Amino acid sequence: MSQEQFWVLFSKKLSGEASAEELAFLESMIQSHPEWQYAIQNLTDLWRSQPAEDISAGEDALMLHLHRMNELNISLDGNSQEIQVSTGPVKKLKRWYWAAAVLLVMAGLFSIRSLSGSSNPGDEVAGQLNEISTRPGSKSKVQLPDGSVVWLNAGSKLTYNKDFGIETREVMLTGEGFFDVTKNKEKPFIINTSSIKIKVLGTAFNVKAYPEDKQTETSLIRGSIEVTIRNRPNDKIILTPSEKLVVENDIARLEKDSKKQEKKTGNIARTELPVINTLMSINKLKYNPVDSTVAEIQWVNNKLVFRDESFSELAVKMERWYNVEIDITDLRIGEERLNGIFESETIVQALEALKEFIPFQYEKNGSKIIIHR
C-alpha cells in the first residue's frame, strides 16, 4: 500500500465511514510504520480544525488529487484500475472524500522519508533509515517503536534505523528535540548530534543542536544522562536534574587550535584548562519564578520563552518559530537584552510588543523582515 492510499483509507476512519476490517488493517499498518505516527497526529488535528461547511474547496482539492492518482494508476480501493473523474460539477461528496481531499493536501506539509546509507557523523546510525523532519514554523510529536516520545521543534530532523529497538536504540538529531525516554537498562538510548553524544537509560531532557547555532545545549529535567563531546571521547560528563550543558559547536576547530598551541609551547597544562572552559559549561536551568516551569522546554507547550537574550539571539528563534527571515541592520539594536514569552502572538504582534522596549522600525515584505532605527 502506498502512502497516498494509506491517507485515503485513514480519511475514512476520520469521517467515521471505515469498516471494522479497514480499521484493523489501518492499526496494523500504523504499528508497522511508527514513523508515520507524528504525521497522523498532526493531520488528525488539522482535520478536526477544518470548518465542515467549506466543502467547495475540498471538492476542488479532491478533483486535483484524483486526476493525479489517475495519472499514477492508483485507485481509491487499492486496485490498479483507472479512476473515472467527472469534469462537471460534483453535487454531493461522501464525507470521507472530503476528508481525503483535506489529508492529501495536508500531507504535503510533512516529511517522512526512508533512506539508505549513513546519517553521519561517525556512521552511528546506518543502514535503512527513517527520517522525520519538521519545517520552520511547525512542531511535531512522534512515538518511537520502544515507546519513547520525541517532540521536534521547528526546522528539526530525527533519523533512526528501521530496526530501532531490536538490538540498539540510537538516533541522530539535527535541530531541537525534547525526549521522554522509556527505561530499558539492557538497551541504552543514544542521541547523536554534530557536537555531542548522549547516553541515557530512561529520563526526560531537551537537546538543542541546530547546525547554524554557535552552541549545542542539553537540558536535563529528570533522571541522569552521560554526555560525550566529540573529539574528546575520554571525557564523560554526567548531568543531574536541573542542569544544562552548553557546548560550543566549533569544538573541532578549537580542539585543533589547542593542539597546535600545545605542540608549539610544549606546555599541555597551560593550554588544556582554557580550552575546556571555552568549549563547555554546566549551568542551572531557568525556572519561571511564578509557576516553576522550565524555560528551556516551554516550546513543547507552544511558548517561545527568552530570558536575558540579545535581540539577535531572539531573532534566530523567531525565524524558526514564525518561518520568516529577519535582518537586523543596526548592531546596537541586535545587542539589546530582552526577557519575555510569546504564545499566541503573530509575528507582527510580537514585533509591536518588542517595540515597546526597544526603539526600532521594521519593514515586512512577505516572509522577509528588515529591522532598523
Domain-embedded: residue 175: yes
What element of type H or E holds 180? strand 169-180
What local confidence, expressed as pLDDT, does residue 230 receive? 80
What backbone phi and psi angles, to 5 degrees, belong to 80? -85, 75
Domain-embedded: residue 296: no
Of 69, 87, 109, the residue at which a domain comes to its end is 109
**Quick one: 285 exposed, middle or buried, by C-beta within 10 A (0-12, 13-18, 19+)?**
middle
What local confidence, expressed as pLDDT, does residue 27 receive? 79
Q: Could you give the number of structural domains in the chain?
A: 3
Separation between Cα atoms, residue 193 and residue 206, nearest integer Å: 13
Separation between Cα atoms, residue 169 and residue 190, nearest integer Å: 6
**Parallel, antiparallel or unpaired: strands 325-328 and 368-372:** parallel
What local confidence, expressed as pLDDT, does residue 270 receive? 29
| Whether 202 and 121 share a structural domain | yes
What local confidence, expressed as pLDDT, does residue 280 receive? 82
| Whether 205 and 354 share a structural domain | no
Q: Which amino acid, 301?
A: N
| Whether 199 and 262 share a structural domain | yes
Domain-embedded: residue 184: yes
What local confidence, expressed as pLDDT, does residue 20 receive? 82
Of 109, 139, 159, the residue at which a domain comes to its end is 109
Of 54, 76, 109, the residue at which a domain comes to its end is 109
| Whether 156 and 243 share a structural domain | yes
Separation between Cα atoms, residue 129 and residue 144, nearest integer Å: 13
| Whether 144 and 240 share a structural domain | yes
297: phi > 0 → left, psi -120 to 50 → alpha, else beta; which? alpha
For the chain, list residues with pLDDT below 50.
Answer: 52-93, 104-110, 112, 114, 116-124, 252, 260-278
What local confidence, expressed as pLDDT, does residue 48 receive? 59
For the chain, the maximum distance between any two Cα atoms, rounded to a whole number of angstroms, is: 85
What local confidence, expressed as pLDDT, does residue 82 receive? 35
| Whether 247 and 368 share a structural domain | no
What local confidence, expressed as pLDDT, does residue 10 receive? 76
What pTM did the predictor assign? Answer: 0.65
Among residues 308, 372, 300, 373, the alpha carbon closest in space to that of 339 is found at 308
Q: What is the CATH number of the domain that holds 149?
A: 2.60.120.1440
Domain-embedded: residue 227: yes
What local confidence, expressed as pLDDT, does residue 22 receive? 82
| Whether 252 and 153 share a structural domain | yes
Tell me the residue range of the domain where 347 lies: 303-372
| Whether 78 and 150 share a structural domain | no
Q: Is 110 helix (H, G, I), strand (E, B) or coil?
A: coil
Domain-embedded: residue 329: yes
What local confidence, expressed as pLDDT, does residue 34 receive? 57
Domain-embedded: residue 93: yes
Domain-embedded: residue 291: no
| Whether 89 and 164 share a structural domain | no
**Parallel, antiparallel or unpaired: strands 157-161 and 126-133:** antiparallel
3-state SS of 268-293 is HHHHHHHHHHHHEEEEECCECCCCCC
Separation between Cα atoms, residue 63 and residue 210, nearest integer Å: 40
Separation between Cα atoms, residue 230 and residue 279, nearest integer Å: 11
| Whether 95 and 118 share a structural domain | no
What local confidence, expressed as pLDDT, does residue 300 receive? 92
Domain-embedded: residue 289: no
Separation between Cα atoms, residue 4 and residue 300, nearest integer Å: 29
Q: What is the CATH number of the domain that holds 361?
A: 3.55.50.30
Digit-coded pLDDT (tens) for 209-262: 999 898 999 999 999 999 998 878 788 899 999 999 999 877 545 555 555 444
Separation between Cα atoms, residue 309 and residue 315, nearest integer Å: 10
What local confidence, expressed as pLDDT, does residue 156 receive? 95
Digit-coded pLDDT (tens) for 235-248: 889 999 999 999 98
What local confidence, expressed as pLDDT, does residue 193 receive? 94
| Whether 125 and 233 share a structural domain | yes
| Whether 255 and 364 share a structural domain | no
Q: Which amino acid, 302?
A: N
What local confidence, expressed as pLDDT, does residue 192 receive? 95
What local confidence, expressed as pLDDT, does residue 47 receive? 57
Digit-coded pLDDT (tens) for 96-151: 555 555 554 444 444 545 454 444 444 445 557 888 999 888 888 888 989 999 99
What local confidence, expressed as pLDDT, does residue 46 receive? 56
What element of type H or E holds 307? strand 304-310
